[in-house]
Amino acid sequence: MRAFQVTSHDAPPSLVDLPVPDPGPGQIRVKIRACALNFGDLLMIKGTYQATPPVPFTLGMEVAGEVDALGDGVKGPAIGTRVLVFGGSGGLAEYGVYDAAGAVPIPDNMRFEDAAAFPVAYGTSHVALDYRARLQPGENLLVLGAAGGVGLTAVELGKLMGANVIACARGRDKLEVAKSAGADHLIDATDADIRAEVKALGGADVVYDPVGGEQFKAAFRACRPEARLLPIGFASGDIPQIPANHLLVKNLTVMGLYWGGYMAFKPQVIANSMRTLFGWYGEGKLSPHVSHVLPLSESAAAYDLLSSRKSTGKVVVSVN
């Protein structure tokens, strides 16, 4: 089978030929149909992600496909079941083996491309806004990087949860994407005074930040008393340092969110979140935004779209 692998952190990933893997005890084999790309993949390529596997490894955190074979002791999901899996890696290949317990059947009306784009982006935003920040109807939600993979879902979910959504992104085209997802107010991060514009709207109750750097600093200073700040990632490459005395003065709360971490210590949080999200999808309340779908042979070009920030929403690789 073909797989897009990192063989060295000093060389670009490449397509290689590998044997089709057999599922072990407790595992299933998935015939992969689609794999969504994530910013964390770019860090894995460099060897700087917090959960980078040892080389060589196949890229691709979240996949959708059909169960193809069952390992010993596995009773389900049955062969032929359409599933999505967050495997952490291994998705940019024609087949993958995963723990059966981590496979989630996908709705019949969900495309493989939408399913692959679903767990990390929607899961991160929903757990962050609902479970962590307890976002309330009528609150001001400031979303940085609002046209990106996770940011766009935060806009969509925030609006669905009744918040007043302030979307911040670079350029009018990206802001129009955020507007179509439900944003009430738009801020162009290219040249705007983010702090001043947010304060003019009454300040932020919740800040959703996958960007970091100067944008975090501006958002921090635009917070209302008792605001909650959610560092989701650091796409800017700059990890901000938080002045504790300012937290004290405004009674602010900073709460980190690593969605994948709940897999290890509190998986029920993810299970409950996915149940809610699939319900909303089935009701037509969620519309995954996939800006590009490329074949496995063009995986390198797909990552270029992600790293150059030429995409909006999610980039997905169609495998079969």
The predicted-structure confidence for 163-192, as pLDDT tens digits, reads as follows 999 999 999 999 999 999 999 999 999 999
Looking at the fold, whether 65 and 112 belong to one and the same domain comes out as yes
Q: What CATH number is attached to the domain comprising 42?
A: 3.90.180.10
Residue 101 and residue 10 share a domain: yes
Which pLDDT belongs to residue 50? Answer: 82
Give the E-state strand segments of 196-262 in sequence order: 204-209, 223-231, 253-254
| Same domain assignment for residues 186 and 154 | yes
Same domain membership, residue 145 and residue 99: no
User: Could you give the number of structural domains in the chain?
Assistant: 2
Provide the domain limits for residue 242. Answer: 120-260
* Residue 293, domain member (yes or no): yes
Alpha-carbon gap, residue 296 to 317, rounded angstroms: 6
Q: Are residues 141 and 216 in the same domain?
A: yes
Angle, alpha carbons 21-25-28 (nearest 5°): 55
Peptide bond connecting 267 to the previous residue in cis, omega within 30 degrees of 0: no
What integer pLDDT is reported at residue 276 of this predicted model?
93
Do 125 and 254 lie in one domain? The reply is yes
Give the helix/strand (H/E) hosting 197.
helix 194-200
Give me the DSSP letters along 152-196.
HHHHHHHHHTT-EEEEEESSHHHHHHHHHTT-SEEEETTT--HHH
Tens place of pLDDT for every residue, the chain, 320 residues? Answer: 999 999 999 999 999 999 999 999 999 999 999 999 998 899 999 999 888 999 999 999 999 999 999 999 999 899 999 999 988 999 999 999 999 988 989 988 899 999 999 988 999 999 999 999 999 999 999 999 999 989 999 999 999 999 999 999 999 999 999 999 999 999 999 999 999 999 999 999 999 999 999 999 999 999 999 999 999 999 888 999 999 998 999 999 999 999 988 888 898 898 889 889 988 998 999 989 999 999 999 999 999 999 998 998 899 999 97
Looking at the structure, do residues 106 and 149 belong to the same domain, yes or no?
no
pLDDT at 271: 82
CATH number at residue 215: 3.40.50.720
Tell me: do 219 and 141 sit in the same domain. Answer: yes
Residue 269 lies in a domain: no
279 contacts 272 by C-beta, under 8 angstroms: no
* Type of residue numbered 50: Q
pTM: 0.83
* Domain assignment present for 280: no
- Domain membership of residue 278 (yes or no) is no
Same domain? 219 vs 100: no
pLDDT in tens, 252-292: 999 999 998 888 889 889 888 988 998 899 899 998 999 99
E strand or H helix that includes residue 65: strand 62-70
